[in-house]
Structure 1
Amino acid sequence: MDREPDVVLGALLRGGRAFLVRRNPAKRANPDIWDLPGGCIEHGESELEALSRELHEELGVHIDTSSAAHLYRLTTGRSDAPAIASAWAVREWRGEPRNYAPEEHTDVGWFEIDALPTPAHPQMRAAFLAGMGALDS
C-alpha cells in the first residue's frame, strides 16, 4: 500500500551546490547531522504547498514551485515508527536563505553536490545523486 509522504525536503540548488541545514543536537530525530531543510506535511497540504511553507518558515525564502523537480521518495526512520520522506530540487526562489529556525538548526550552508556530508540514512545520498543525475539528462 502506498502512503502519502509525512515529510517533505527541499534542495535549493545553485552553481553546482545544495543548501543544507545542520539539525539541532537536541532534536529527537536525526540530531546533529547536515540535512536538507523541510518538515512535516500538514493535513490538507500538497507536497509543494508544504515545501513552500517549510522553506519560508525555516530559511525565509519564497520558492517558485514551478521550478521544483521531484528527486526521490524513501521510507526513513525507525522500523517501529517509519516516515515517508519526499525530496524536491528547487532551482528558483526569492530571498537569501538564512537560518530562521535556530531551534531546529544550529548552522546552514552551501555544499558542493559531490561533497555532501553523510546524511542520516545512507540511501538518501544515493537517491539524491540519482535524482540529480536524472535532472541533468
Structure 2
Amino acid sequence: MIRDERGHVLLVRKRGAQVYQQPGGKRDPGDRDDLHTLRRELHEELGCTMDESSAICLGTFSAPAANEPGWTVSAHVYEVRAEGPFVVQAEIESLVWVDPAAPGDTPIARLSREQLLPLMH
C-alpha cells in the first residue's frame, strides 16, 4: 500500500488484466524476505524506490485471485513510503491513484476493494 500526499492509494493493472490491484508480486529465489521482494517488484514494475524502514505490516489477506480464475491469492500486505517517479513498465499496463474512501467505478480486484482499501480510510 503506497499513498500520495492526498492519502490516495496507488493501484496498478497488469497487461491483459481487467482490474486494478496493489503493486507487488511473488517471491523469487534469492529474495530474502517480504520487504526484499516488495522493493524488487516496485522497482521492476514502477521504477520507484521504497523506504524499507517505513514499512508497516498490515497483515495477511486472502481472496479469489483476480487474474487466475479458480485460485486464491494470499497476500502479505505492507504500507510503505515510496519515491517516484512512478513509471509503468514490465508487465504493468496502467496505474491509478484512488481515494480509498471513494474509489468510484474504477475496476478493482476483490482483495483490494473489499479488504485493503477499507484499511486506508
Q: Identify whether the pair has TM-score above 0.5, normalized to the shorter chain.
A: yes
Q: Deviations over 1:28-78 (max 9, x none)?
A: xxx221111111112353110000000001111110011121223122337
Q: Could you tell me which residue of structure 2 aligns to residue 4 of structure 1? A: none
Are the aligned partners of 1:19 and 1:36 in contact in 2 as well (CA < 8 Å)? yes
Structure 1 residues not aligned, in runs of 5+:
1-10, 26-30
1:19 matches 2:6: no
How many Å apart are 1:118 and its aligned residue? 4.3
Change (3 A) 1:82 1:42: same
> Does structure 1 residue 90 correspond to structure 2 residue 80?
yes
User: Aligned pairs, how many?
Assistant: 114
Matches of 2:101 and 2:86, distance apart in 1: 21
With normalisation by structure 2, the TM-score equals 0.77
Higher helix share: 1
Judged with a 3 Å threshold, the aligned counterparts in structure 2 of structure 1 residues 79 and 17 are, in CA distance, closer, same or farther, namely: closer
Please give the root-mean-square deviation of Cα atoms over the aligned residues, in Å. Answer: 2.3
Where does residue 113 of structure 2 map in the other structure?
Answer: 125
Shift of 1:81: 4.1
Residue aligning to 1:113:
100
- Alpha-carbon distance, 1:83 to partner: 3.4
Q: Distance in 2 between matches of 1:48 and 1:80?
A: 28
How far residue 21 of structure 1 moved from its aligned partner, in angstroms, is 1.0
Identify if the C-alpha distance between structure 1 residues 119 and 109 changes in structure 2 by more than 3 Å, giving closer, same or farther: closer
Instruction: Verify: 1:52 aligned to 2:52, yes or no.
Output: no
1:61 has 2:48 as partner: yes
Report % sequence identity.
30
Match of 2:24 in 1: 38
**TM-score using structure 1 length:** 0.69
Higher strand share: 1
Structure 2 gaps, min length 5: none
